[in-house]
Every structure is written in structure tokens, then in C-alpha cells.
Structure 1
Amino acid sequence: MLVHLGGIPTVIVSSPSAAREILRTHDLNCCSRPRLLGTGRLSYDYLDIAFVEYGDYWKEVRKISVLELFSAKRIESFRYVREEEVASMIDSIAKSANSGTPINMSERFMALTADITCRVAFGKAFPWMELNDGKFMDMIDEATAMLGSFSASDFFPRFGWIVDRFTGLHARLEKSFRKLDNFYQKVIEEHRNAYKSNEEEEDIVDLLLKMERDRTELAGVQLKEDNIKAILMVHSTVATYYLS
């Protein structure tokens, strides 16, 4: 069924055969996400891997993720992170058991996954981001809400921006973006100023900064800070997902 949501033509699919037609037969024509106000702003104008349209840039970012960030060799290099975090969790469980404190194992395992994800991505465990005047989870939760929010500009391009300013959505989106941008900038600056002589100590931010120094190009676009921040946004969301 074809409906028009404002100025956007939208196809609604409700049968298995139609879904198969779209998701398999015409996958290349339907695989890209729509270009929306919230996703565009928070992904630095679609420089990430989750919301960027299918094309040469997406292929390059995906190739970097597969070959550089999440290759078997790189995952093995993060083994010490997994071992340290598992040992820390076991030690915490032992202390709780000795003191007779009840243990929620589901929460412990989710926290373990978030800590490993954050250390691999940012070089810091999750508690650091909560205590370092960041309120990390609140910040990412707000960004996630903005990604799923209704923006009049998306459906009524000519005058929707007036509605968004009147309702406060525009200001709320900009505030969320600035908080994330400041956080990512702080993480990047800390990594720029840190000296790591051992490649095994490098995290994903170190690898992306190394590509920036090497003037790596993605589909003809040189990798810059905004590209790095957009890629880090995905890891931030993943870490929060495990604790939500």
C-alpha cells in the first residue's frame, strides 16, 4: 500500500511475499535508510556506517571495519581486555558472595559486555564515562530518543523547520549533538596526547587516528575527525544497548 506521509511517499508491506520481494529481490534499491533530520545531524551528515546510504562510502567504511577494526588479528589483540574484565567481574562476584550480598548475574554480564565494548572502542571502561562528569548513558539515551523522534522538517520540508523550532525539537537535537560532540572530542584529544608503544594496547580510536594521520581516503573522501566521531557513535550506542 502506498501512502504519503507529508511529502514522503511510503510503501507499507504486510505480506511475506511482498517482504521477500523487497528484502531479497530488490534489496539494493531498498536497503538504505531514509535521510532524516535527527539521523543526519547525529551521524555528522551520514558519515557513520549505520545510517549512510548504500554506496561507495558505505563499502569503504564496512571494509575498514571488517579488515582493520574487527579482523581476527585485531580481535585477538583485544584479548587482554576481555581477560581483565572477566577477572574483574569474577573478583567482584567473589566479594559479593563473601559478604552475603545478592548478585544479579544478568546485570553483571550486561555490564561486562558494556565494559569490554567501551574499552575496545574508547580505551576506558564504562564506569569511567559515568564518573567523568559525562552521564554517558543519559547522553546516549537522549541521542537515541532524537533518532526516533518525529520531525516536521522530514515530512514538510518547506515549513516544517518552523514547527520544529516552535516545539523545541531543533534546540533539543542541537543540545544532544553538542554533548556527544564534546564527549567524542575529549576522547580523541586524550588519545592524541597519549603515547602507546605497544600495538596491543591500541583501541579503535587509536586505529582510526592512525588512519587519519596516514591520510586514508574513503571513496575519495579523506578520513577526518567527523568521520571518526560518526563511527564512534555506533560503538557508544552498542555499549548503552547492553545496559538498557
Structure 2
Amino acid sequence: MSMKVLKTHDQAFCSRPRAFGQDKLSYNGLDVALAPSSESWRESRKICVLHLLCNKQVQSFRLTCEEEVFRMIRNISVKACLGQVINLSVTMLSLMSTLICRVAFWKIYDEEGQERRRFDELMIESQAMLGGFIVSDYLPSFGGVAKLSGVIDRLDKTFKDLDEFYQELIDEQMDPSRPKSVNPNILDLLIQLKEEPSCSIDLTWDHIN
């Protein structure tokens, strides 16, 4: 019965409520996970399925994922043998950020280095902003309260920092002197799709970001 209801009222259920923080960090809802249902969203999802997350592409990431999971297990085992306390939240965040860096743009950051700390801080802050409570999402007339509380300024700074980080990655990927990889990463594929006239939608740099 529930499946029938969902099928009949698909358009009513397929979009989540709009939230200011999500809209801001997803370039006004261009992210596939956060965009409202539309023809553009369906085409974006199709691009993800056919080009970014197809079986061939996922298999090309398999060795990288296995390496990082085995490395995490080894580190946990060593710490356990030494009687050290293991913070699983920090460990899983480290695994997730390492996989994103390697799979999305072939980056291997030193875990204690400045660039890695910068990336981890951006991830933590963006997650806080995506899931955070902004009163104007529920009470539009209280927009001034959100501004006075500092949450809007914090969101603007997070967006600016992320945008600068994305731009640095794109500039690096498009550098003609950069060594070419046999297996393109996700950012490579998105840039290639943007430059293809046959792409089903007009991809912009905001889509790629």
C-alpha cells in the first residue's frame, strides 16, 4: 500500500524541504542529493549513474578503497595492542576524507599536514552548516535573528572557504603541465563532461563545485 502511495504521489514526496544552509553550500540546489525534483535534476542524476558511478568507474576505485580500509584496520590494531584509546568518530572521519581526496581528485595528503587539516576542517564545518538549525527556515519572519546570531556570517565564510578550495582543485586539474592519469578521477570526468557539446545538460562550474 505504501509503495502504491509513493508511486501515485511521487512528485509530492520526491523533494525535501528547502533549507537556507543547504541551498547556499550546494550553489542554490545544484547538488544531486539536495536539488528539488526537476528535469535538470533527473539529467544530473543520469550523469552520475552513467559516468561518475558506473560499474567500471567504481571498480577503478576499488583498490584505493581497499588500501585505505586495510590501513585503518592496521592502525586500530596497533593502537589496541598498545592499550591506546581509539576515537572511532575521528577514525571514520579520517577514512572518509582520505577516500574523498583520493577518489575525487587523486590527492594524498599527509594526515598531519596543513592541507589535510584544512580539508578536514572544511568537511566538519560544512556538515555542521548542512545539518544546522537556522530559525528562518521554519520562521521566515525571524531572518534578522539568524543574522544577529552570527550563523549567516558563519555560513557565508564556510561557503567562501569551500569555493576557494574547489577553485584551487579545478585550476590544478586543468593545468596543462599536470601529468595525465590512465584512470581519470571524478573531477577529471566532470571537467570532460562540461567540455562535451553532447552532454545532456549545460554543466557550469557551479555544478562541478
When the two structures are superposed, what TM-score results if normalisation uses the length of structure 1? 0.68
Cα drift, residue 185 of structure 1: 1.2
* Residue aligned with 2:36, SS: coil
* Alpha-carbon distance in structure 2 between the residues aligned to 1:166 and 1:109: 35
- Cα 1:93/1:147, change in 2 over 3 Å: closer
Matched, 1:175 2:161: no
Structural RMSD (CA): 3.3
Q: What do the CA deviations read for 1:203-223 (whole angstroms, capped 9, x no partner)?
A: 10111111122246454xx21
Identical amino acids, percent of aligned pairs = 36
Matched, 1:119 2:102: yes
Q: Give the unaligned 5+ runs of structure 2.
A: none
Whether the aligned pair in 1 keeps the contact of 2:109 and 2:116 (CA below 8 Å) is no
Matched, 1:210 2:192: yes
Q: Which residue of 2 aligns with 1:146?
A: 129
Q: Which residue of 2 aligns with 1:8?
A: none
Q: What do the CA deviations read for 1:45-85 (whole angstroms, capped 9, x no partner)?
A: 11111110112112111111111111111122234424654
Q: Which residue of 2 aligns with 1:228?
A: 208
* Alpha-carbon distance in structure 2 between the residues aligned to 1:147 and 1:113: 17
Whether the aligned pair in 2 keeps the contact of 1:122 and 1:205 (CA below 8 Å) is yes
Whether the aligned pair in 2 keeps the contact of 1:152 and 1:163 (CA below 8 Å) is yes
* Alpha-carbon distance in structure 1 between the residues aligned to 2:132 and 2:65: 36
Q: Give the unaligned 5+ runs of structure 1.
A: 1-16, 230-244
When the two structures are superposed, what TM-score results if normalisation uses the length of structure 2? 0.78
- Cα 1:153/1:112, change in 2 over 3 Å: closer
